[in-house]
Amino acid sequence: MARVMADRGIAAVFSYAGRTEQPRKQPIPLRVGGFGGVDGLVRYLRDTGITHVVDATHPFAAQMSRNAVAACRATGVELAALTRAAWQPQPGDIWRNVADIEAAVAALSGPRRRVLLALGRMHLARFAVQPQHHYLLRLVDEHGALPLPEYTSVIARGPFTFADDMELMRQYDIDLVVSKNAGGNGARAKIDAARALKVPVIMIDRPALPARLELFGPDQVLDWLDHSGTDRGV
């Protein structure tokens, strides 16, 4: 999306939360860090004269998405979410759907497994109450000790291919995957690999979000921008 905006010469700024140490560079101006809740975002939108917000956050970044809805409503700024359809189970998938992280933790009660915990770093501590498992973690940044009794971590940044994830799951003898239902292609290789290897998946459903315009690709966002005027900034 950022590349398309740069190519079109659309005045736009890219916002990162600032969670990773070396965020990917972007071809448009960048800002990093929280806005300070809804009030902070309202101030930012007013101060910068932004006319359109494209919420391209991860489907599980519910707080930011809720803040964007509230701040755009308060300021009259146009809002669209650039998102992707949730994954649907296919023949051969062995999924257990759970509502949230807490339910995923509960679903891990039972005998020892070798678990690919594909969740990023933020929620790891909550899995410490299921210490019987060996956890395989794939994280973006190098880290110190993590709050789990027994784990292996691999430092790598997606997107990953089907071959990558087949290799990873075979190498570590994974017999259970815990995944958020992110949707899209960038993170789906582990789900395809789990199907191929007949490994069950605890699939965490997406959080509910307020109603908003949802678009499913950069082209749709460009159409939306073309039809609602972008003389100032996105």
Burial of 222 (0-12, 13-18, 19+ CB in 10 A): middle
Which region, judged by CB under 6 A, interacts with ligand NAP, from 2-10, 62-70, 160-168, 192-200? 62-70
The nearer residue to ligand NAP, 85 or 196, going by C-beta atoms, is: 85
Which of 27, 37, 149, 210 is close enough to bind ligand NAP by CB under 6 A? 37
Q: Which two tokens stand for residue 30?
A: 């960048």
Which region, judged by CB under 6 A, interacts with ligand NAP, from 2-10, 58-66, 210-218, 219-227? 58-66
Binding flag, residue 127, ligand NAP (CB under 6 A): no
Binding flag, residue 207, ligand NAP (CB under 6 A): no
Over the window 177 to 196, marking each residue x when it contacts ligand NAP by CB under 6 A and - when it does not, the resulting string is: ---x----------------
Which region, judged by CB under 6 A, interacts with ligand NAP, from 31-39, 74-82, 135-143, 168-176? 31-39
Please tell me the distance from the alpha carbon of residue 218 to that of residue 214, in angstroms, as a whole number: 12
Place of tokens 């159409």: 223
Overall residue count recorded for the chain in this entry: 234
Please count the residues of this chain forming the interface with ligand NAP, following the rule CB under 6 A. 20
Which of 36, 110, 186, 210 is close enough to bind ligand NAP by CB under 6 A? 36
Residues 136-170 as b/e (b if ≥16 CB within 10 A, e otherwise) read bbbbbeeeeebebeebebeeeeeebeeebbbebbe
The nearer residue to ligand NAP, 29 or 229, going by C-beta atoms, is: 29
Please tell me the distance from the alpha carbon of residue 88 to that of residue 201, in angstroms, as a whole number: 12
The nearer residue to ligand NAP, 68 or 174, going by C-beta atoms, is: 68
Please tell me the distance from the alpha carbon of residue 38 to that of residue 22, in angstroms, as a whole number: 26
Q: Which residues have C-beta within 8 Å of that of residue 32, sequence separation ≥ 6?
A: 15, 16, 17, 18, 23
Binding flag, residue 60, ligand NAP (CB under 6 A): yes
Residues at the interface with ligand NAP (CB under 6 A): 15-17, 19, 34-37, 40-41, 57-58, 60-64, 67, 120, 180
